[in-house]
Amino acid sequence: MIVRQATLDDTRQIVALFSGRVPVWQRLGEQSQVEDLPYDALTIYERWLHGGAWMSLETGSIWLSHLLSGSGLAFVMVDGGQILAYAEAFLNRELTPMGSHLHLAEILVDERCSDEDHHTLADTILSKARGPGRLSVAHPDYDKDLATYFRRYFGASEAFRLTRYSINAQIGQSFYKSQEYAKTDSSQIDDWALAVGRWTSPRALWESEWIEHWRSIPQIIKRGKHRHYINASGHEALVCFHQQLYNERSADVYCWSPRHLSTQLLVAIRDMGHRLGFRTLTLALPEASAELLPAEHSRDPNQQVIATVSV
């Protein structure tokens, strides 16, 4: 069993690994009824809806090419030419207390792999984290099996939790400056925090949310994505408003900043969201930042756990 860096020639097998986990391929018909269809009958976009880039060869190639350009790390575990596992990770230079760390953003292992195989893959990933000195992972609180997996093979323990909150976008009463901002160099967020939306890690979300990958797929780019530089009373931030898939008047918010969320920045985000035409904004926040939210917010019952291990 060999663990090595992925190459573009691996794309087809990686896609097969991921798409093989989809029990039924479906799409909405003209009358909004759900139709069960064979994989080959679906468009690239319809496959993408089942789990993102790794649902088809075309989008998988685009994403893997981006990772291999230096934006992330991609590994495959191979046995006799057959790929049995895939993992991708991102190096982060984040605001304290996380600091520099490697974030494991994706891992999928074939059910045929042995306990020793799992340890082999984990050891390779942990070895890549020795430079920054820390590895981080993320999982839903309700996924006890994944939590057990990360504890068993990586030694990860919970660091903090996030919850998604929904608030109304509204005109604010504070002064701030803003402008559209589309520069994509990730060095801009070095030593910054992902003050809003940290469901994985700052770099992982920068590469997937801030950077545009899917301009050739009109159904994906139809979802509005607005990227702005904001300076709210000296609190600067790069903020992304991404229109939600099934609710065009709502947006998921991601915010990179050299400081954690402040009242001034929150007011600016709500005002900007309103000016962009959204009614509702969804923000993933740790408990300390959630204290700044207005009383009329709503809270998702599920939480995301960020776990870490020192290497």
**What's the pLDDT score for residue 234?**
95
**What's the pLDDT score for residue 113?**
96
**What's the pLDDT score for residue 28?**
86
Spatial CB neighbours of 186, under 8 Å, sequence gap ≥ 6: 71, 203, 206, 207
3-state secondary structure of 130: coil
**What's the pLDDT score for residue 20?**
96
List pLDDT tens digits, range 68-122. Answer: 999 999 999 999 999 999 999 999 999 988 999 999 999 999 999 999 999 999 9
Dig out the tokens for 87 from the structure. Answer: 């993992």
**What's the pLDDT score for residue 29?**
82
**What's the pLDDT score for residue 174?**
81
CA distance 245 to 33: 18
* Residue bearing tokens 């691996």: 10
CB 102 within 8 A of CB 129: yes
Neighbouring CB atoms inside 10 A of 304's CB total 20
CB 205 within 8 A of CB 162: no
Instruction: Please give the helix or strand (H or E) that residue 148 lies within, else none.
Output: helix 144-154
The amino acid sitting at 160 is F
pLDDT mean by block of 10 residues, the chain; 311 residues: 96 98 92 91 96 97 97 97 97 93 98 96 97 97 97 98 97 91 96 96 97 94 96 97 96 97 97 97 97 96 97 94
CA distance 70 to 61: 15
CA distance 68 to 178: 33
pTM for this prediction: 0.95
Instruction: Please give the helix or strand (H or E) that residue 236 lies within, else none.
Output: strand 235-244
* Partners of residue 79 on adjacent β-strands: 82
Dig out the tokens for 172 from the structure. Answer: 């604010």
Task: Give φ, ψ of 99 to 5 degrees.
Answer: 60, -145
Question: Which segments of 174-219 are extended strands (E)?
Answer: 176-180, 193-196
CA distance 142 to 285: 18
Q: Concatenated DSSP letters for 49-62?
A: TTTSGGGSHHHHHH
CB 201 within 8 A of CB 307: no
CA dihedral 227, 233, 234, 240 (to 10 degrees): -10
